[in-house]
Chains A and B, each alone.
Chain A
Amino acid sequence: MIKGKIIDHMSLIIMIFSYIIIWMLKTSFPEYSQMLTLLLYYIAIAQAYNIFLGMTGYVDFGYVSYFGLGLYGMALGVSYASQNNLSSSEAIILGMILSVILAGSVAGVVGGIALRLRGAFFAIATIGLSQALRYLIEGAKIWGGAEGIIIAKDLRKLFGEEGFSYATITLPDTGIFILAVATGIIMYLIRISRLGYGLLAIKEDEDAAKVFGVNTTLYKFVAFIISAVLTSLVGSMWTLKVTAIYPPESFNIAFSVEFIVIVMLGGGGTVLGPLIGASIYSLSKYYLGVYLPGLQLTVFSIILLLIVLLFRQGIVGELRSFLYKHEIVRKIIR
């Protein structure tokens, strides 16, 4: 799968190296542990979303739905397991399977329908989808309706009183780290594969790609499903951390936009972009919250505007085009 000289895969090595550094920082400085988990969470989602948004250029404002379905999948799995006296590991595996099934099937239906639309119409259709899901859950009182699902009690029952901190901190933190690494590697493998080049061709000019024999419908669909399923897994781990989920938060479009901003900030379609974007985003969000409480969104909106105006291709993308004449840089910065 990975061929060629080491230098050709420099960006993958840099990426894995950064993950190792983040993990080492996390274990050596417990006081920053939760901040670094937040960083890894953003990296994982950004890498997953990058596979679709960054590679194809299609904006899915309803992307948060797959995260939300991941949240619901794990919550349903855990509460089912606790009612039926299953073991704790069975509960987690059941939750992850449910997340993947829920997100995968919804993404399959949406992908089949909405991917026929382009640009603005696709964006609007996906907004409609995430809101429809939210109001269906609330209105028809599915899965607890507006009252949401609270799983703290079930986790206590499954893991025991002393295992509760393992279930809500150690386990999801490790899971999110593994997912961040896995999504990064999957993104890289897609980027260097036939699928990746096809997707980038679609981003440049979909009609031209079609003429040159790229099966655009299939490629977009595959990228969409992979991306949605990976995000739902991040969601399933996040459920264990928050222990209570409600429809308005699970399907909040603001989260979709947060994910879009991170991918755009780093540079859509680049391998290192989500790492850089998520680092800048989560650290500045964290410290703005500390030093300018109440003003972070105002500052963010201005930063976002500046990014849109100054870094059209994101930080990594701009850097790459700026240094494009050096072959070595072209290989390292992807």
Chain B
Amino acid sequence: MDPGLIIFLFLQGLVLGSIYGIVAVGLSLIFGIARIINLSHGALIMWGAYTALTFFVGYNLSPLGSLFIAIVVGLSLGASIFYLILRRLIGAHELTTLLATFALSIFLEEIARLNYGLDYRGFSWSLGVVKIFDYRLTYSSILAGVIALSIVIILTLFLYKTRIGSALRGVAQDPVGAYICGIDVNKIYALGIGIGFGLAMMSGVIITMYNPTGINPYLGAPYLLKSFVIVVLGGLGSIIGAYVGGIIFGLAEVVLFPLYDYLHFHSPMSMTLFTEFVILLILLLIRPYGLFRR
């Protein structure tokens, strides 16, 4: 194997991992704050991708601009969903919130299907390619990885350096204690879920920067399944854990795929996914609360 390929695969793994990371961070954040596993995360990613597509095709707005639309729409959607539905379910059996978010996910997917149809769509936002030895990586995908990283840094700074951020962390730790300290717990839940929804939609936009084709109403499902593995890897509720888990996952994927291909498996992609889920099961066995959680 030539060293060029190894460096290329490493870079590609980092970019892919960074994207997986941002997807998982949103899921982990909502669980950390409200103890809700948001099964509509995949549908929100899909809506983020459609946002990028619609604004690019209709208004010639680059996906960078769509990022702002995505966070605004996500925040308001998340807050309204919280006040409409999830507020009544905080503290209920986990099954209830799982079903509620699942229903939301079907609803969002169906609206997208009725609106855009089942066709695979795409757009071309080309910024050129960078050559690494003999291999090509598009600038927009590198940008996607960098933006994902910066969003996670901004989020971490927000959570650890601002007053609202510490309120969010307080509610995550102990809602009753936070309430006694005078924090409006419901507003914090609404904000936390809003940020989670916004992150999901932004990661949808970022995904289109990495791969601007194949946008369809069921785009989010594979990302949701993978981010389950990642959040468990990083520890449900941990932001940095989720991001690092994503990086590990991305690197593993770019290594496993060529490996299974080299071993002449019938479908290397399926074997890669199989390995990922086996890793999940083993992890749950040995470290049920994640690798990075004390």
B106 engages A301 (CB within 8 Å): yes
Does B265 sit within 8 A of A, measured CB to CB?
Answer: yes
B281 engages A128 (CB within 8 Å): yes
B284 engages A264 (CB within 8 Å): no
With both chains docked as a complex, state the minimum distance between the C-beta of B1 and any C-beta of chain A, in angstroms.
23
Does B285 sit within 8 A of A, measured CB to CB?
Answer: yes
Does A121 sit within 8 A of B, measured CB to CB?
Answer: yes
A119 engages B94 (CB within 8 Å): yes
The docked-state distance in angstroms from the alpha carbon of A153 to that of B29 is 52
Report B241-284 CB contacts with A as 1/0, cut-off 8 Å: 00000000000000000001000011111111110011011001
The docked-state distance in angstroms from the alpha carbon of A145 to that of B269 is 13
B281 engages A125 (CB within 8 Å): yes
Report B29-48 CB contacts with A as 1/0, cut-off 8 Å: 00100000100000000000
Q: For chain A, residues 101 to 159, give those with C-beta under 8 angstroms from any C-beta of chain B.
A: 113-114, 116-117, 119-121, 123-125, 127-129, 131-132, 135-136, 138-141, 145-146
Known contacts A127-B228, A128-B281; A139 and B102 CB within 8 A of each other: no
With both chains docked as a complex, state the minimum distance between the C-beta of B35 and any C-beta of chain A, in angstroms.
8
Cβ–Cβ < 8 Å partners of A121 in chain B: 232, 236, 284, 288-289
Cβ–Cβ < 8 Å partners of A319 in chain B: none
Does B164 sit within 8 A of A, measured CB to CB?
Answer: no
Known contacts A140-B266, A297-B110, A298-B114; A123 and B37 CB within 8 A of each other: yes
A302 engages B281 (CB within 8 Å): no
Does A211 sit within 8 A of B, measured CB to CB?
Answer: no
B232 engages A145 (CB within 8 Å): no
Q: For chain A, residues 290 to 311, give those with C-beta under 8 angstroms from any C-beta of chain B.
A: 294-295, 297-298, 300-302, 304-305, 307-309
Cβ–Cβ < 8 Å partners of B271 in chain A: 135-136, 139-140
Does A257 sit within 8 A of B, measured CB to CB?
Answer: yes
A124 engages B100 (CB within 8 Å): no
Does A333 sit within 8 A of B, measured CB to CB?
Answer: no
Cβ–Cβ < 8 Å partners of A271 in chain B: none
Does B70 sit within 8 A of A, measured CB to CB?
Answer: no
The docked-state distance in angstroms from the alpha carbon of A33 to that of B255 is 53
The docked-state distance in angstroms from the alpha carbon of A123 to that of B88 is 22
B99 engages A260 (CB within 8 Å): yes
Does B180 sit within 8 A of A, measured CB to CB?
Answer: no
Q: B271: nearest residue on chain A (CB-CB)?
A: A139
Does A331 sit within 8 A of B, measured CB to CB?
Answer: no
Does A12 sit within 8 A of B, measured CB to CB?
Answer: no
Among B100, B103, B270, B289, the residue within 8 A (CB) of A138 is B270
Q: Count of A residues near B, CB < 8 Å?
A: 42
Does A176 sit within 8 A of B, measured CB to CB?
Answer: no
Among B107, B269, B284, the residue within 8 A (CB) of A124 is B284
Among B228, B265, B277, B289, the residue within 8 A (CB) of A132 is B277
With both chains docked as a complex, state the minimum distance between the C-beta of A113 and any C-beta of chain B, in angstroms.
6
B265 engages A139 (CB within 8 Å): yes
Cβ–Cβ < 8 Å partners of B89 in chain A: 308-309
Q: A124: nearest residue on chain B (CB-CB)?
A: B228
B98 engages A139 (CB within 8 Å): no
Q: For chain A, residues 244 to 273, give those with C-beta under 8 angstroms from any C-beta of chain B.
A: 257, 260-261, 264
B106 engages A297 (CB within 8 Å): yes
* Count class of interface residues, chain B: 35 or more
Q: A61: nearest residue on chain B (CB-CB)?
A: B98
Q: Is the interface of A mostly helix, strand, loop or mixed?
A: helix
Does B104 sit within 8 A of A, measured CB to CB?
Answer: yes
A113 engages B285 (CB within 8 Å): yes
B267 engages A125 (CB within 8 Å): no
Cβ–Cβ < 8 Å partners of A136 in chain B: 270-271, 274
With both chains docked as a complex, state the minimum distance between the C-beta of A304 and any C-beta of chain B, in angstroms.
4
With both chains docked as a complex, state the minimum distance between the C-beta of B54 and any C-beta of chain A, in angstroms.
20
B281 engages A129 (CB within 8 Å): yes
Q: For chain B, residues 88 to 120, give those with C-beta under 8 angstroms from any C-beta of chain A.
A: 88-89, 92-96, 98-100, 102-104, 106-107, 109-111, 114
Does A59 sit within 8 A of B, measured CB to CB?
Answer: yes
Q: For chain A, residues 199 to 221, give those with C-beta under 8 angstroms from any C-beta of chain B.
A: none
Does A57 sit within 8 A of B, measured CB to CB?
Answer: yes
Does B49 sit within 8 A of A, measured CB to CB?
Answer: no
The docked-state distance in angstroms from the alpha carbon of A294 to that of B217 is 14
Which A residues fall within an 8 A CB radius of B? Answer: 57, 59, 113-114, 116-117, 119-121, 123-125, 127-129, 131-132, 135-136, 138-141, 145-146, 257, 260-261, 264, 294-295, 297-298, 300-302, 304-305, 307-309, 312
Which B residues fall within an 8 A CB radius of A? Answer: 31, 37, 85, 88-89, 92-96, 98-100, 102-104, 106-107, 109-111, 114, 225, 228-229, 232, 236, 260, 265-274, 277-278, 280-281, 284-285, 288-289
The list of the 6 closest CB pairs from A to B, nearest first, reads A139-B270, A139-B271, A132-B277, A135-B274, A304-B103, A301-B107
Can you give 10 contacting A-B residue pairs, CB < 8 Å?
Answer: A57-B93, A116-B288, A117-B284, A120-B236, A124-B37, A124-B228, A139-B272, A297-B110, A298-B111, A312-B92
